[in-house]
Structure 1
């Protein structure tokens, strides 16, 4: 049979807000046996005593109204989102614009490139140029640098991504691994004849 005795505990502090000041202590003897151990500086363990009573503490019925207020305050506190407004020193937005000459040099996995991605206009607004004209533009871009990421080429040429892919599939090799992973470079036959193509 479960033996239970009740005790009442009062907090000494008075300025505790809605924190309950009175608690019911329900004492039990029917629980898993426990002992208290200590360890000396030499590492020797000693049994200091046996736990004979267990107390479960809960707010006393006199404080249930205050305890309810405390629970509501906690809930409301954690539902409020704290937002901060920060004024930037550089309010010209220069740090968010791609700088001329740097497009295509940023590694494909970098954070800077990911930040620039949302600012790009959609392919719907881009108009296709003549294919021959586009091929000449692409050859000139590959004269500037040997490797280009697709997104960088879209920015440079302002052409639909799918249209560029079709041209790149004919003119370029896609690097799937190595130091230039994720970029395109001209096929060997076009590297040799780039000058001739431009002259034509």
Structure 2
């Protein structure tokens, strides 16, 4: 555990309280979540069955049985929704080889995180409907709804155009205007380009390729061919990706270089 987690206290006041861990159908859990606080959700009836085994019956409250299903994605509820079953039976399973507990994670009035043990699981079971006509109608509706395709093909009376075509996009127009303003770059005589480069290197010792392209107004592939003859490309810091004249073409003094 992290230092922040281990520093928290664990409330164990209800650690000795026995609780049941029961798996319930989805239609019951969804209604329990929407039930008003402190309202009755159902009643348990525990009797002795054949062989002395306990028989546990659970009746869902009338209010939850009459509660309508939650609204679907379209904002409406189904008019022909079937009534959910009221009577259920608990099937108990053995947990002698397990030790289970219930924890809660909440905040107190001051906003501090509170971690507590709500009880020790003493019984584990599953809530199952009796399988009467109401349950069968509910399962039929669930199966039919699951088989409905999520996408459907519709026949249109007229073509639907979601966008309006344009002759040229904004980016294409801006590129064409910039290209016309700059003019097409044509290769100058090699000696003329070298004169421009020498004049530029008299002002600064290092240039990147973009600056040299702007100064000479030459295509980059052609410019690199000339640079490889008279310049050195620095691949390491402190002048990484910069070009400088070869020593035999330099004619500035040490003070000029500094």
Identify, as 1 or 2, the structure richer in helix: 1
**TM-score range for the pair, normalised by the shorter chain length:** 0.3 to 0.5
**Normalization by structure 1: what TM-score?**
0.47
Q: Which has the higher contact order (CA 8 A, sep 6+)?
A: 2
> TM-score, with normalisation over the residues of structure 2?
0.38
